[in-house]
Structure 1
Amino acid sequence: MTTIGDVSSSGTSSSQNNAATQSIGASYDLFMSMLTTQLQNQDPLDPLDASQYTEQLVNYTQVEQQILSNQNLDKLLVQLKTQNASQFVGYIGNEVTALGDTANLKDGEASWGYTAPQDGEAKIEIRNSEGGIVFKDTVDLKEGKGAYTWPGTTTSGSTAPDGQYSISIKMANPQGKEFEVSTEVTGTVTEVDFTKGEVMLKLGDLEVPVSEITKVKQG
């Protein structure tokens, strides 16, 4: 005997609440219409077990309640995201410092901050957006925070075009093992982007994740 499909098998993913609602049925009336049709066409010698459709009705109600709960949760998350958006928009016009190795070369200058864990010699490499090394340098660093400014001159003596460049600063510990020195970039926030999963702050043409921000200075 044909039976009504188990509604609990319909989509229940919280990320697809609207689709899940539609997969259960357009409405409770649709479920009841299917049940009524089945009752009208049941075999008198093999009638429908009342407990069977009662169980299915209970399943329908439970899933419907779960979806409504998920939809309410989604609404709450939207409200929280809206509140957070207002908070992040407040960064616009302010100067921020973020962990990162990429900076903009503009008007013949690109700068990075760094935190050296010790005094010592450091090897510096600067790469273009394609990953090619355009400049190398060797400097003595003092323990603590400092800054390195590159005037845009390449190793060959030519002038590098404006654009994004990444820096690598390496030192060696007393045992001779090489390690990377932490670097950061600073710039003024011109735009906030919410479309990439994580909130991104634009410092001109440069983008940094808001999670990497270490300092904010009011503009």
Structure 2
Amino acid sequence: MDYTTLNVNSSTNKTPTTAAQSSGAADTQDRFLKLLVAQMQNQDPMNPMDNAQVTTQLAQIQTVTGVGTLNNSIQSLSGQFEQMQALQSVSLVGREVTVPGNKVAVADGKATMNFDLSGAADSVKLEVLNGAGAVISTQDLGTMKAGSQSYTWDASKASETANLTFRVTATKSSNPVTSTTLMRDTVRSVSTTGGTLQLELKNSGLVDYDKVRALG
């Protein structure tokens, strides 16, 4: 794994932006003060600016400068957080994670399939499909609550166990209930692309880190 990539990608884009913003804030403040001085020098002697007006304008420029400084601080913290997150994710290499997916892994004649239901269902059907997309097994799981669900399929009598996938159909009072199929996969490496932290998984390829539902 290229650890250098983790350190470089999460920080190289921050410095030019921060420097430019700091320069922009300083230029804005300088222009404001010059305009204020010019305004005071050319004011009507019979109707000069009162202290309240001057104080208000000075407060405005201080607010603008303060917002710019706060924005720079937030960006700096964001960069540090991204770098820390990337370094911490290195420990995931070799571990199993649960992510959205529908591939079926058969081991010792059994396969455990996980899925998530958006709501309670009074009818749940799980189908196992072969590589050609044909259904080779159908399981009626009956009533299920909302949330994470798991089903272990006995594949000992299945005619084929390679390149299998599964799908879940759930309904409540004949209305469809959204289901998300999940699968366990092994982390091979970690990368950052465009500031996005991604995991390269054994079977699923590149997956965004925020797609991970659980760690094995």
TM-score by length of 2: 0.56
Match of residue 75 from structure 1: 76
Name the residue aligned to 2:182.
184
Matching of residue 151 in structure 1 with residue 152 in structure 2: no
Q: Compute the displacement of 1:56 (Å).
A: 0.6
Query: Any gaps of 5 or more consecutive residues in structure 2?
Result: 1-16, 116-123, 142-148
Contact in 1 for aligned 2:98/2:182 (Cα 8 Å): yes
Q: How does 1:3-22 map to 2 (within 5 A)?
A: none
Q: Distance in 1 between matches of 2:59 and 2:83?
A: 36
Structure with larger RCO (C-alpha < 8 A, sep 6+): 2
The code of the aligned residue for 1:98 comes to T
Give the alignment of 1:6-45 within 5 angstroms.
Answer: 26-45=27-46
- Counterpart-to-counterpart distance in 1, 2:213 and 2:199: 9
| Structure-2 residue corresponding to 1:91 | 92
Cross-structure match for 1:62: 63
Number of residue pairs aligned between Structure 1 and Structure 2: 176
Percent of residue pairs bearing the same amino acid type: 18
Of 66-75 and 83-92, more deviation after overlay is shown by 66-75
What one-letter code is carried by the residue in structure 2 that aligns with 1:189?
V
Which amino acid counterpart does residue 151 of structure 1 have in structure 2?
A: A
CA RMSD of aligned residues (A): 4.5
Counterparts of 1:30 and 1:176, CA distance in 2: 67
User: What's the CA shift string for 1:123-156, capped at 9, x where partnerless?
Assistant: 416499xxxx822122458995426774248xxx
**Does the aligned pair in 2 maintain the 1:124–1:136 contact within 8 Å?**
yes
Structure 2 distance, partners of 1:192, 1:152, is 26
Match of residue 215 from structure 2: 215
**Unpaired segments of 5 or more residues in structure 1?**
1-15, 106-110, 154-165
For residues 54-77 of structure 1, the C-alpha deviation after alignment (integer angstroms, 9 at most, x for no partner) is 211022113322332332233223
Give the drift of 1:34: 1.4
1:101 touches 1:167 (CA, 8 Å); kept in 2? no
Match of 1:51 in 2: 52
State the partner residue of 1:12. Answer: none
Q: Secondary structure at the match of 1:134?
A: coil
Q: Which amino acid aligns with 1:146?
A: T
